[in-house]
């Protein structure tokens, strides 16, 4: 790793899927990227895709306040400031479990990761962005089309993604005096390991199982980069990026 003049990003869930794609896109664009995730090996696999990029891997469980504080402390110690948080870490939880059968422990795990983890990371980033010189920065929360409409048997995931929209709006309002811009990207059917089942068959609202189209995750990464590279005087408040023909708009 070598330092160079670049903006500094923290990406959570950077070891796979959308987090990996966004990290690689930012590194290729000249950003310095702090890669956060539960598995150090996976973070390093992300980083080596752009060997010349300045990066730092920090093992982090976003549901643990002490891990989050250590992440942002390490980011500032290594790179001096934080210009972007891509608040991406998340989990679907157990799939296909009816609400009446969902264990509380499973509900709590999804809430702790998707909502509490997003809050902890946003709070830590907000504190640094407010105090650093020059002041300000950007937070992009990874919502989901589930922030608008649920899939069957997805009560924990859907509830957290709806809550994330409220988090985004509150942070956006509270960040105005400090040049902290906050937006949200809602993604539908990006091709990752987490969405592999979509192409073979996903449960639909009518009770049938049907394959669904997906899109290249690199198209999501380019959208996040566009949002990230706007001047702080401009903000994409909400963006929805989805596979064009997925059953979302209308009745399928």
Residues identified as active-site: 157
d(CA 211, CA 225): 29
d(CA 79, CA 170): 28
d(CA 26, CA 49): 12
In 3D space, the residue among 226, 222, 128, 224 whose CA is nearest the CA of residue 179 turns out to be 128
- Give how far Cα 155 sits from Cα of 13, 44, 115, 166, Å: 22, 33, 14, 17
Task: Give the HSE-up count for residue 86: Cα atoms under 13 Å, Cβ half-sphere.
Answer: 34
What is the per-residue burial (b if ≥16 Cβ within 10 Å, else e) of 90-109? bbbbbeebeeeebeeeebeb
């Amino acid at each position: 790793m070598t330092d160079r003049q670049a903006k500094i990003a923290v990406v959570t869930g950077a070891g796979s899927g959308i987090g990996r794609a966004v990290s690689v896109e930012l590194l290729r664009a000249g950003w310095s990227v702090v890669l956060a995730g539960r598995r150090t090996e996976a973070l390093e696999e992300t980083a080596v895709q752009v060997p010349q990029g300045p990066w730092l891997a920090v093992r982090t469980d976003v549901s643990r306040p002490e891990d989050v504080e250590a992440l942002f402390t390490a980011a500032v110690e290594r790179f001096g400031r934080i210009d972007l948080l891509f608040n991406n870490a998340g989990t679907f939880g157990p799939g296909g479990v009816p609400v009446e059968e969902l264990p509380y422990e499973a509900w709590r795990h999804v809430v702790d990761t998707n909502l509490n983890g997003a809050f902890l990371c946003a709070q830590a980033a907000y504190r640094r962005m407010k105090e650093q010189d020059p002041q300000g920065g950007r937070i992009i929360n990874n919502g989901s089309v589930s922030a608008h409409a649920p899939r069957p048997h997805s009560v924990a995931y859907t509830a957290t993604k709806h809550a994330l929209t409220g988090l985004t709006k509150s942070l956006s309002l509270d960040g105005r005096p400090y040049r902290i811009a906050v937006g949200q990207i809602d993604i539908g059917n990006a091709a990752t390991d987490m969405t592999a089942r979509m192409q073979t068959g996903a449960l639909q609202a009518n009770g049938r199982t049907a394959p669904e189209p997906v899109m290249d995750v690199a198209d999501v990464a380019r959208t996040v980069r566009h949002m990230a590279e706007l001047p702080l005087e401009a903000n994409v408040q909400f963006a929805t990026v989805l596979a064009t023909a997925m059953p979302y708009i209308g009745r399928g």
